[in-house]
Structure 1
Amino acid sequence: METERLTLRPLTASDVDALEKLHADPEVMRFLDPEPAENFLGGSFWAAHEKESGRFIGWFEFKDVGEGAVELGYRLHPEFWGRGYATEGGRTLIDRGFTTGGVERVVATTMFVNSGSRRVMEKCGLRHVRTFHVDWDEPLPGSEQGEVEYVLTKEEWQSS
């Protein structure tokens, strides 16, 4: 799949080294718990490469969570933050999901304090629906302010 500036393809075992490098970056993982790179392989995760340079910039998630809903997620190398890539990739997956994927609702969550990710969700058309609190075994800094959930329905997407 292609956007104006990105190529998106399913993550494969050949991406494990790139994933490990991405997940080793403390800025990328600031609001996230670590997970093995192998957990991101499969049909729900998309490797993102910059068309111009061919460089791996990160990944996008568009995971079926049941009842016509999918979860949108993303992780990009910090050097690619602020360029609109997260919004571009997210919107592309959302558009594809609503037009050909049978998606009725897109959901996304992050920590309340993750303002960058919240901005991406809003630019993708999602709206804040709730703030909630989770009791984590090993809370990350800022978790006391809670988690946020954003949603975009197919009906809202069609009317925008």
Structure 2
Amino acid sequence: MTRPVITTQRLELRPMTPAHLPLHRQLDTDPKVMRFLLGRARSLAETDEFWTPRCADTSADAVGLGWWVGYAGDRFVGWWDLGRSDSEPGTMLEPEAVLQPDEAEIGWRVLRSQWGQGYAPEGARALLQYAFETVGLQRVWAETMAVNTPSRRVMEKIGMRHIKTEVRHWDDPLPGAELGEVVYEVTRGEREP
């Protein structure tokens, strides 16, 4: 199975390739987009170092997982991910996971100019449908900082429920880290009528 193009009413989610690297620069060099991830923007060099291997990684294609870039018409909107918690590029899946993964983590990042237009939940809903109906996952989860209320709202809009909050130790914690990281999930059974 390979990652298909996924369409919604307004979005086309295309499998990420190395040609999409310049789009990541638009996202990761915006300090507001990155505030709950790094607390600052990435430099161009940091962005390229982080995204170059991820744009080229097709290791999860065997089970239909990976990264997508989203467009509204010709306009780049952001990216969505349906992946593994060990999503380091090139990491091999366990043999049983190659046959049928049970769960994956979902994520997204949207350009600041596109915030508030419903693109994040629209793309995430489409990926959830794909995850359960095509890939056959049993569980999809997401996490973010407890203080990241916009992402938490997206998780709730797509039917995920809060299952735990973990306070983790960070060498250089971001403001709000003391309130912890929240984990949300949705299962296949919860999505079925």
TM-score (norm 1): 0.92
Letter in 1 for 2:129: D
Q: Matched residue of 1:28: which SS?
A: helix
Match of 2:29 among 20, 24, 31: 24
2:106 is matched with 72
Letter in 1 for 2:173: P
2:80 is matched with 60
Deviations 1:118-137 (A, max 9, x none): 00000010000000011112
Write out aligned runs for 1:112-123 (5 A): 112-123=146-157
The Cα of 1:139 is off from its aligned counterpart by 1.0
Long gaps (5+) in structure 1: none
Q: Do 2:165 and 2:181's aligned partners in 1 also have CA atoms closer than 8 Å?
A: yes
- Structure of greater Rg: 2
Whether 1:47 and 2:69 are equivalent positions in the alignment is yes
Q: Which has the higher helix share?
A: 2
Partners of 1:39 and 1:134 lie apart in 2 by 27
Q: Matched residue of 1:92: which SS?
A: helix
Match of 1:100 among 120, 129, 134: 134
Q: Matched residue of 2:23: which SS?
A: helix
Partners of 1:96 and 1:19 lie apart in 2 by 24
**Identity over aligned pairs, percent:** 42
Q: Which has the higher strand share?
A: 1
Partners of 1:8 and 1:31 lie apart in 2 by 24
The Cα of 1:39 is off from its aligned counterpart by 4.5
The answer to which of 30-39 and 41-50 deviates more is 30-39
Whether 1:7 and 2:12 are equivalent positions in the alignment is yes
TM-score (norm 2): 0.77
Q: Alignment RMSD, CA only?
A: 1.4
Match of 2:176 among 132, 142, 151: 142
Query: Judging changes above 3 Å, is the alpha-carbon distance between structure 1 residues 28 and 83 closer, same or farther for their aligned structure 2 residues?
Result: same
Long gaps (5+) in structure 2: 1-5, 59-65, 86-96
Q: Matched residue of 2:7: which SS?
A: coil
Partners of 2:79 and 2:54 lie apart in 1 by 9
Letter in 2 for 1:4: Q
2:90 is matched with none
Partners of 2:84 and 2:187 lie apart in 1 by 14
Q: Do 2:26 and 2:111's aligned partners in 1 also have CA atoms closer than 8 Å?
A: no
